[in-house]
């Protein structure tokens, strides 16, 4: 937390003085009480002692005053807020190697669950699309604000075929171009809506256009590509009892794809790591952190605490002090 008028925090020096004054008042009251020599009479006149309750309203008033004094310094905090608009395209590898079980229950099942969680955490004003690829690429869900459409498309994915990483990325970039050519939902929108691609793969490209060609296309369109690699490093998983060389992870290609486009590469060896990666990606691609003044919030908190203290005082002692 930062403060626009930090010198006003010096007013907090009043708090220790008020506490001291309160303690002196309590001590003075105790001294008056001890002047009664007939304690039985005192008990009859004063009734049952309020005990700790007598200090609680004062405690809330003190917290209230502290909050109000802090608000004078105009506090500000870094708060995550949704981007005005953004387009996110999820690109998922559904090649035959995604049947491997080094991620439980399988690579594809783990990837589908992580992608669904990812979509669920995106702001409602974020348009999301889904591209899947094996030997070729297909549009499973065009960019849309209806996240349920994308979720259902993810659930319907099945594995099989080769691995065309370049085709998957190129198809995603075509969707961005298609979206840019359409009239904007906001007539006041003067700049293109930012778009990012989140691509997941577990193998080596063996079909379609070379990944390098798709990477250059993304660089030209100035679109960031975040890539996620899954599967055991340096291993060739067994599929249907046979070793499949295309099941080995090609991290070099995914790293190049991310670094050359300004994105970031992530690696997941376990299902939990994959879900954590998608959670992190959600905050990066569709939320922004801004320094926001929270004076009104702190003032409201101080007012609420004061009302609580006043309410307790009225309920227990029928007075505001």
Could you report the per-residue pLDDT of 192-248, keeping only the tens digit for each? 567 888 899 887 888 888 989 999 988 998 888 999 888 776 655 555 555 555 557
For the chain, which residues make up each domain, given as ranges? Answer: 2-78+292-317, 83-269
- Per-residue pLDDT, 189: 47
pLDDT average, residue stretch 45-63: 71
- Per-residue pLDDT, 14: 85
Output the CATH code of domain 83-269. 3.40.50.410
**Chain-wide mean pLDDT for the chain?**
79
- Per-residue pLDDT, 294: 83
- Per-residue pLDDT, 190: 46
Whether pLDDT at 144 is above 80: yes
- Per-residue pLDDT, 79: 59
pTM above 0.75, yes or no: no
Q: What are phi and psi of 228, to 5 degrees?
A: -130, 125
For residues 160 and 38, the model is more confident at 160
- Per-residue pLDDT, 33: 55
- Per-residue pLDDT, 191: 46
For residues 134 and 180, the model is more confident at 134
Whether pLDDT at 140 is above 90: yes
């Amino acid at each position: 937390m930062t403060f626009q008028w930090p010198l006003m925090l010096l007013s907090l020096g009043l708090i220790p003085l008020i506490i001291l004054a309160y303690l002196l008042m309590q001590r003075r009251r105790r001294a008056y009480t001890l002047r009664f020599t007939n304690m039985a009479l005192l008990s009859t006149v004063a009734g049952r002692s309020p005990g700790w309750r007598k200090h609680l309203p004062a405690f809330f008033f003190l917290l209230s005053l502290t909050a109000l004094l802090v608000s004078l310094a105009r506090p500000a905090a870094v708060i995550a807020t949704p981007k005005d608009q953004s387009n996110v395209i999820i690109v998922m590898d559904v090649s035959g190697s995604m049947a491997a079980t080094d991620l439980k229950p399988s690579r594809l099942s783990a990837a589908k669950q992580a992608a669904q969680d990812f979509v669920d955490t995106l702001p409602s004003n974020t348009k999301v699309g889904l591209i899947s690829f094996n030997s070729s690429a297909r549009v499973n869900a065009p960019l849309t604000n209806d996240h349920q459409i994308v979720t259902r498309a993810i659930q319907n994915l099945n594995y099989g075929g080769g691995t065309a990483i370049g085709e998957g990325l190129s198809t995603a970039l075509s969707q961005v171009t298609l979206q840019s050519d359409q009239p904007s939902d906001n007539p006041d929108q003067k700049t293109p809506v930012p778009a990012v691609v989140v691509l997941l793969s577990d193998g080596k490209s063996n079909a379609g256009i070379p990944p390098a060609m798709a990477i250059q296309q993304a660089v030209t369109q100035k679109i960031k590509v975040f890539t996620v690699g899954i599967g055991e490093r340096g291993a060739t998983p067994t599929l249907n009892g046979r070793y499949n060389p295309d099941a080995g992870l090609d991290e070099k290609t995914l790293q190049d794809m991310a670094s050359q486009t300004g994105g970031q590469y992530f690696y997941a060896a376990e299902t939990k790591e994959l879900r954590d990666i998608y959670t992190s990606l959600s905050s990066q691609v569709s939320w922004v952190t801004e320094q926001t003044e929270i004076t009104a919030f702190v003032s409201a908190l101080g007012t609420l605490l004061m009302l609580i203290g006043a309410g307790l005082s009225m309920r227990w002692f029928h007075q505001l002090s």
